[in-house]
Structure 1
Amino acid sequence: MTIMKLFCNKSSMTLAMLTVLASLMTPPAFSYEIDESNTFIEGLAAYQQGIFSSAINILENWIKEYPDSLILDLGLYWLAQSYYQVGNQREAARYISLFFSVYPESPLIATIDHDFKNLAKRY
């Protein structure tokens, strides 16, 4: 076997081994999305069950952990609703204002009632 063949075989083998190791060490991309979705659903479920303080904690942490989420508008909306339900209008207004400023074209805006829209203007 010539030195060139030996070098090519060792290089190919090393590259293949490094590729396999790297793929084993890297979590699948969808794992992040599953965690993101599960956490959001957990927060929404807490809201729907009337456990608003849990919804607030879960959704605030979710927003911090996934600030680039494709459903961040929903997270901001439900967090604002959760604060509103516990009587904290100032925080509700803060999050609904953030929702309006970041997502002025969101189709979700059409579903928000007039009083909740005005809440943002009062604070």
Structure 2
Amino acid sequence: MEKLEFLQKNIFTDLKNLNTGFDAEENYYFSELDFAMILERIEYFGIGIHTIKPYLNEEFANVKTNEDYRKKATDSKWYKRAFYDFKKATPGMLYSAEYKVSSKLLNKGKEEEGEEEKNTTEESN
């Protein structure tokens, strides 16, 4: 399973991508409320964030990285703090991030897909 596919299936579910073409198609942007939900979901899965990239009024704001906070990408303290700082400084921005999804999670996603296909095949026989 590819990283974007995993994120779409497990993290971005039921959330609206607000990228209307102002950035590359594979960069999903979310409202403040949806991005807060994303942070909760990635913490649950143990996914990391390397960079948070905010956008407002057709301009990109300064990005924040895990290195700015001297934390590992998977340390939820850094990305929650960065998000809080962004929201406090400028409410209503859209948010994108560069995610770090472990190969273990991606492989687990492949295994689950294989089981679903196997079950579907068995049911139809």
Structure 1 and Structure 2 fold alike (TM over 0.5) = no
Whose radius of gyration is greater, 1 or 2? 1
Q: Which has the higher helix share?
A: 1
Q: TM-score, normalised by structure 1?
A: 0.29
Which has a greater percent of strand?
Answer: 2
> Which of 1 and 2 has higher RCO (CA within 8 Å, sep 6+)?
2
TM-score by length of 2: 0.28
